Amino acid sequence: MTKKNSVDSTNGLDAYDHIAICSLLFVEEHGLWNGLDVTLCPKWKPQLEQVKSVCDTGEVKKIQSFLKTLKTSDPGIAAILQRHEAQVPKSKKGKKHSDLLIDISQELKYLVTPDEKAYAIIETDEEEHVYGVRGKKFRLWLRKECYLRYRVSPGSQAIQDAVEDIEARALFDTNSVCCVRCVCELRVQSSKGAIYYDTGRPDFSAIKVTSDGYETIKKPGVYFRRPGSMLSIPELPEEGDIALLQKHLDVDDETFLLILGFLVQALRPSGPYPVLVLYGEQGSAKSTRSEMLKMLIDPSTALLRSTPRNEDDLFVGCYNNWLLAFDNVSYMPQWLSDAYCKISTGGALAKRTHHTNDEETILVAERPLILNGIVEFVTRGDLGSRCLDVRLPVIRKSKRRPKKEVMADFEKDLPAIIAGLFKAVSVALGNIDSTKLDQLPRMADFAQWATAAEPGFRFFREDDSGNRLKDSERPTKNVNNVYQYVTFLEAYTGNIDEAIETTLENDLVGSGILKLLSEKSSWKGTYAELLESLRDFLPNPEKPPKKFPDTPRGLSDRVKRLMPLLREVGVEKHDSKRSGKGSRLILEQTRKQPTQHAQSTQVSEKSVGSVRRVGNLQGQSSKDHTENEEALLF
């Protein structure tokens, strides 16, 4: 190497200036920072750092402007840059810009999804970046590479032509080793018995969860698509603590079990997914808690969104978000209630593709949902049976804090809480095959998965001084003088029963039928006669509300919708032969059977804590437990 003090007689630059300029050119050409120790040439440190920051952004115009400034600032630099530009291969000069872009694209790998969408895989030694071929980021990457390699900035039409050619080769060159066919999911997917979660970080790393635990890997072997609104989760600690979430949500133990069940199901690649409904008065922090839950599963630039105006908006939102949280819902039309049902258990929206005659664009969605509001807006039984209803207490004035302070405290615990959730998912993977339910409730897959994850839900209570209580000192629920910890299924069953009662109470037909059968055990007649009988229970029979059916046919449809809920409270319906006056039916009030949904009968030995403990606790009297009868704890 030339000595430090040697000078180039041509341009007056010393050897370290040459090193700096060469490094600058390397960065400018390849878009990479080669790790040069800029302390060796302090005179060039500002310029080198500026080039690094400009190249990292990939903004071609800034790079061009900076090089132009360098050329005019020093004749020696201008000479070096001219010699460098002269080294551009002659074979590339005169080529169409679209051809240059296609040459660049041939170095990449591509994947095609089952719905015929092409993605480019930009691979380095440690990372794999995935961009949609028709997406904005891939176009920007092509533009940046074309300039860094050939000193030309392609126009929009050249990029469009190149993208169409790249997409055609990816879709039809099925025998190429550079093209693979596989799924490219959003945020969560499964492969070979493991669950993969996209961290959203720039290195495209993913968290792999198995029955043995979880780990972060940079080349997971599965591919994710990323919408522009997606944000990343923080780096996770080795040990998580799921119990930290409860103090931020400020809910009782039974409600906390339901929320944990919702969260672990939201980290499962396939549904059905429950709809978490947060009810509360003004000042109960419904929106803040919804934001917290969204940040745990699917952080994005828009944590909360308003009610969609139509089904198109809802499905587009599902395509770009794994979990959707809708804020301040006050009214829910029938079409939206039905659409939420489809999103919860899986559905599709088919529309004619723009600028075509006979092609369809199909959006398929199955997503976890969060809804919050003041009034009870879920009034239809089919959606109600998919919901987890949570009643939030009002925050007293003495306990109110600025939202900025609340979220700052939550973000401190966020990594440990997320790690605890992945641990619970790992427990679920280990227990799911051995978890059997005696009876299957609605949303049976969700109930089984949450039950399998329940050993990972173990959380502890604290005394007034903040010290953790021992197991024998933890409060329990008294059931027939037997003290036990409440399980997830017990909490879920109680929530289902409460939702059924609430839905029937808020429905004019459902509450009317219950009142009718409270006077006599059975009722016989036509739907027209039933309509007249139910009118008597209205506040103003002469002017029924708009929601009350005005024809026998409308009443028949409403009764059919309500029968799954009425059957749960002991009401049976029997249709008899049609008479001249119309269809006849028989309603009977049978003995109400308690809802005994699913108790888990088999759970794997692999547990973080016991799922359920039953028996008299030594050292405590029945009186002591009676005082804690309402305290629910797993």
- Over 80: is that where the pLDDT of 442 sits? yes
Q: Which CATH superfamily is domain 244-452 in?
A: P-loop containing nucleotide triphosphate hydrolases (3.40.50.300)
Locate 479 and state its tokens.
Answer: 């059931």
Alpha-carbon distances of 564 from 436, 501, 558, 584, rounded to whole Å = 24, 12, 11, 19
Cis check: omega of the bond before 272, within 30 degrees of 0: yes
Least confident residue range of 95-109, 193-207, 299-313? 95-109
Mean predicted confidence (pLDDT) in 83-101: 66
State the DSSP H helix or E strand holding residue 163, giving kind and residue range, or none if neither: helix 156-172
- Over 50: is that where the pLDDT of 493 sits? yes
- Of the candidates 342, 308, 304, which has an alpha carbon nearest to the alpha carbon of residue 323? 304
Residue 305 pLDDT grade (very low, low, confident, very high; cuts 50, 70, 90): very high
Report the CATH number of the 495-589 domain.
Answer: 1.10.10
Per the model's pLDDT, the better-predicted residue between 89 and 122 turns out to be 122
Burial per residue of 18-52, b for 16 or more beta-carbon CB atoms within 10 angstroms, e otherwise: bbbbebbbebbbebebeebebeebeebeebbeebb
Neighbours of 345 (CB within 10 A): 15
Residue with tokens 């079409």: 335
Quick check: do 244-452 and 495-589 share a fold?
no
Between β-strands 184-186 and 179-181, what pairing exists: parallel, antiparallel or unpaired?
unpaired
Mean predicted confidence (pLDDT) in 281-307: 93
Residue 94 pLDDT grade (very low, low, confident, very high; cuts 50, 70, 90): low
Alpha-carbon distances of 280 from 66, 286, 287, rounded to whole Å = 56, 7, 10
- Over 60: is that where the pLDDT of 425 sits? yes
Mean predicted confidence (pLDDT) in 301-306: 93
What gap in Å lies between CA 246 and CA 230, rounded to an integer?
26
Per-residue model confidence as pLDDT tens digits over 558-604: 888 888 888 888 888 888 766 656 678 888 887 554 444 444 444 44
Per the model's pLDDT, the better-predicted residue between 474 and 614 turns out to be 474
What gap in Å lies between CA 323 and CA 92, rounded to an integer?
47
Residue 148 pLDDT grade (very low, low, confident, very high; cuts 50, 70, 90): confident
Domain boundaries, the chain: 15-87, 97-181, 244-452, 495-589
Per-residue model confidence as pLDDT tens digits over 110-139: 888 888 889 999 888 778 889 999 999 999
Locate 192 and state its tokens.
Answer: 């070979």
pLDDT (0 to 100) of residue 81 = 60
- Over 50: is that where the pLDDT of 361 sits? yes
- Over 80: is that where the pLDDT of 345 sits? yes
Question: Which bin fits 570, alpha (ψ -120 to 50), beta or left (φ > 0)?
Answer: left
Residues 204 and 424 sit within 8 Å (Cβ to Cβ): no
- Over 50: is that where the pLDDT of 268 sits? yes
pLDDT (0 to 100) of residue 238 = 86
